[in-house]
Structure 1
């Protein structure tokens, strides 16, 4: 790749040409080639054949004069910056050339090395900027043809907006097709509830001078009087002095999407209410079941024990023989009643997990079950930081394990159970597998054990997976989100 500039000087005065070349070579600019000619036709041929980066053009030449010199070169300098060289009397012609596309003009009698170098550098940069803008405009025009958005171009200096194409008319009904509209037109059709917010957000993006993009969603009044939901976004352009001068953007009609979102939100709200209603029904059902079972225990077991104890005491009070034996039996019956009440209390009262800890509470639950049953239970707990869990979450995990173990004891006739409790990142994973008789998860069951587990999991945005079949045991997996707060009924 070649380094340095290739400059073409079109000048018929040998002294001026010598001075220009000397200034350029002494200015510190990196120069690759220095071409020169005193004829406009030769300049045209050089520009067509060579890679020229910049042209220094004198408007008074043997074969051309004035603005015609630049006009003649225009077809081959579309992407090349041109600096006009002029005398004091020709500045008006030089300004006319700039209107036609020249980058700058220099008065020969006022030239210095630094002024010439600066003019060359600025002209190159401005031309690059204009070329980027031209390419951007080409892409912009292509997008306008391909999209259904209403494209707008806002001149921040004159405060007018140019609507590109006819999409704005198609979407909103206003007769603005490839034409300027006053900025207050847009402000006047903003929804009253959105106007202050949208205008302030847009003004802040422009005022701060650091943003290059602005976007917002709001409601826009159509010509028919109804409001459309729109997504509007704009790209802010700045001057060389970093002043915002222009914004190009697009308005997209998102009314259908908004309506669809509203329908989905309503459906989700209905589903949430139904789910909460189901949870409430399950919880109330579980409470009624617990009350019924407690009443049965009190009536059929503890009440009978205490009734027998009272009978023994009545006989002993009447001093019937054998009095001592009756008192001993009464004491034993009272001890049995105390143990039964303690057992019921353990089942009904939530363990003090804050004092005992979740892991130790689960271990004690497993030990108690193994003491009274023939079922072997293997417990594995890993990665669980109890300090990171809320008390309600600990109770929830404990109750799910307790509920499933009760289900297995009552219905599964299992010989062995495996319990795995792990935590990975924000997920708590509980796995309970038994080798019992299993069941068909699709069949309706009279009990509420599984329903209670599902309800507890849903309270923490969790999910339950049950894999079972008759004669195949049961695999229960519960995934809970440790960061989730319980949903409100």
Structure 2
């Protein structure tokens, strides 16, 4: 671990040095080209400089994992020194490029890299110095006229000292870098250990807070679990016992949670004997993973029979085996009693409606019989008498036949009037408003009663024919009640429609009545029955001496559904 870290640090230092060398080599090559402008040494600048770069980068590309390219770099730096000295015609200061190269190589922290550069310097100085002094043309080493052996040795010795010092610095940097890498690694380990410790402390604190929150949540959940009225329970089906049950079981069953958990058959024993047959059937559904919902009777601890409603949710394992049942149970005894009471009231209401319908039918039959016997029958009898007289009397036959005809026409008009009272006009042929208006006209012909009508935002196309007939019959029934009992002078009728709501309001200024007093008539019951068939709400407002107001509200969005249900029933 430590060795890998140290090696990684050295690799990073080498990569950094490689990037630095790229800049120096490019700079040296460009300097050579710049010098070629002044001394016309393009061949040397391009040839030597280009070959030097080609050699360095080729070695680096061919042997990427070897350090050979670093030694080639040392030689290349020496060749750049030779190139610049040659381009500057032996300018002495160009010898310092060797020292610059030596200093650059320190970044690799390898003291051996100084050796190739030192060898190039020594060979160059010895060979080129000798050739220049011997008089060879185009050989540039120094601008001095002569260089003695003594001077040469001092020059080489000083250069060697510089190379040695640079190598020593590279070595010290290497040792120091390795020591720093080791120290950094150890510090990193300490920091990592400290960080891990901090993380563990933070995790411990977080876990502590989470445990506190979990305890608080469990406490709240347990509080809810034991405060709701419904019984919550969980049953372990592997060991066949109740694991959890809320305290509401005392109210619903009369037994404590401890008693349920102590006696695993208690829940089965308290089921009413007539209800136990469903247990096996429902258990099969639970084994198939189905949630069940049912109502059944139990025997409370106080020996009273109660109704409970239970929902049970099964949990199966990976093999499909029933391992747990969770459920909720509540006492619905009062609900069952209320439903039974409502059913009885509904049945009583149906009986009342039936009685009212039969009474209405008998009333219509009695009215028809009276009209036929007391009105139409005498008119037809008179017509018959006139016809018999016309047969026997020649002198007045024509007048008698004409009178007989008038009596027959009168009988026909009476029959037509009677039929309109019994059978409403076809609301498919005329509108409801026209039918009510016609009924008002018939009443005003024989009664001193004024009518005020108001039709507000009324659209008959939105109403079913059966509802229109019910409105007509209710209006007819209320008009009959007003004529018989109200002693009214004026009747106000309003028919309004807003959205899905239709409102019928009939008000008179008659003597009124006490709505709290029981009445024997079936008229009001008939109107209520007709309205309820179409989900209508009937409201009657009346007091003695203040007339009567009848208001009925119909909801046209639900009346068709109601009619279908009534017809089906």
Aligned equivalent of 1:471 = 545
State the partner residue of 1:36.
Answer: 194
Label 1:228 to 1:253 Cα distance change in 2 as closer, same or farther (>3 A).
Answer: farther
Cα 1:176–1:220 change in 2 (3 A) is: farther
Please say if residues 234 and 247 of structure 1, whose CA atoms lie closer than 8 Å, have aligned partners that are also in contact. no
Whole-Å separation in 2 of the counterparts to 1:180 and 1:17: 62
In terms of mean alpha carbon deviation, does 479-488 or 399-408 score higher?
A: 479-488
Superposed CA deviations along residues 280-331 of structure 1, whole A, max 9, x for unmatched, are 2222222222222222222222112111111111121123322211111111
- Structure 1 counterpart of 2:486, from 408, 412, 437: 412
Match in the other structure for 1:193: 278
Name which of structure 1's ranges 476-485 and 399-408 shifts more when overlaid on structure 2: 476-485
On the 8 A contact 2:531/2:552 being kept in 1, the answer is yes
Q: CA deviation at 1:413?
A: 3.2
Supply the distance in 1 between the matched residues of 2:386 and 2:489 (Cα, whole angstroms).
Answer: 41
Q: Which residue of 2 aligns with 1:350?
A: 424
Alignment of 1:462 onto 2:536: yes
Displacement after TM superposition at 1:346 (Å) = 0.5
Change (3 A) 1:466 1:220: closer
2-side partners of 1:385 and 1:314: how far apart?
55
Matched, 1:142 2:223: yes
Paired position in structure 2 for 1:317: 391
The equivalences for 1:7-18 within 5 A come to 15=185, 18=188
2:243 is equivalent to residue 163 of structure 1 = yes
Contact 2:488-2:510 at 8 Å conserved across structures:
yes
Alignment partner for residue 207 of structure 2, among 68, 72, 78?
A: 78
TM-score using structure 2 length? 0.53
Higher helix share: 2
- Work out the CA distance in 2 between the residues paired with 1:408 and 1:166: 63
| Distance apart, 1:421 and its partner CA | 1.6
**Are residues 226 and 191 of structure 1, via their aligned partners in 2, closer, same or farther at CA, if it must alter by over 3 Å?**
farther
Report the secondary structure of 1:421's partner residue: strand
Aligned partners of 1:151 and 1:250 also within 8 Å: yes
Alignment pair present for 1:286 and 2:360: yes
Partner of 1:339: 413
Once the two structures are superposed, residues 371-405 of structure 1 have per-residue CA deviations (whole angstroms, 9 ceiling, x without a partner) of 44332212223344434433332211100101111
8 Å CA contact 1:173–1:222 kept in 2: the answer is no
1:277–1:77 CA distance, 2 compared to 1 (3 A): closer
Aligned length: 373
Listed as ranges, the gaps of 5+ residues in structure 2 are 1-182
**Which stretch shows the higher mean deviation, 354-363 or 131-140?**
131-140
Q: Which has the higher strand share?
A: 1
CA distance in 2, matches of 1:237, 1:314: 98
Cα distance in structure 2, aligned partners of 1:236 and 1:16: 58
Q: Tell me the distance in 2 between the aligned counterparts of 1:480 and 1:79.
A: 64
Instruction: Judge conservation of contact 1:166–1:178 (CA < 8 Å) in 2.
Output: no
Structure 1 residues 204 and 226, CA, compared in 2 at 3 Å: closer, same or farther? farther
Contact 1:384–1:422 (CA under 8 A) maintained in structure 2: yes
Superposition pairs of residues 86-235 of structure 1, within 5 angstroms: 134-146=215-227, 151-153=232-234, 163-164=243-244, 167=247, 171=253, 191-193=276-278, 196-197=281-282, 200=285, 204=289, 216-219=293-296, 229-232=307-310
Deviation, 1:140, is 2.6
Contiguous gaps of at least 5 residues in structure 1: 1-12, 23-34, 55-73, 81-127, 206-213
Q: CA RMSD in A?
A: 4.6
Q: Deviations over 1:335-383 (max 9, x none)?
A: 1111000000100113211232323322322233334433221222334
SS of alignment partner, residue 428 of structure 2: helix
Please list the CA deviations of residues 426-474 of structure 1 after superposition, one character each: whole Å capped at 9, or x if unmatched: 5432110112233333445565433322332333343432223343222
Give TM-score, length-normalised by structure 1.
0.61
What's the CA shift for 1:194? Answer: 5.7
Structure 1, residues 246-266: CA drift from partner, whole Å, max 9, x if none?
989554341xxx322232222
* d(CA) in 1 for partners of 2:184, 2:259: 55
Matched residues in 2 for 1:435 and 1:393: separation?
Answer: 27
> Aligned equivalents of 2:287 and 2:501: distance in 1?
42
Which secondary structure does the structure 2 equivalent of 1:355 belong to?
Answer: coil
1:30-69 alignment, distance < 5 Å = 36=194, 47=201, 52=202, 54=203
Distance 2:468 2:502 in 1: 11
The DSSP-based 3-state class of the residue aligned with 1:437 is coil
Q: CA deviation at 1:14?
A: 7.6
CA distance in 2, matches of 1:145, 1:273: 41
Q: Are residue 274 (structure 1) and residue 348 (structure 2) matched?
A: yes
Cα deviation digits, residues 30-68 of structure 1 (max 9, x gap) = xxxxx9379x7xx69x95xxxx4x4xxxxxxxxxxxxxx
- Please give the secondary structure, in 2, of the residue aligned with 1:478: strand
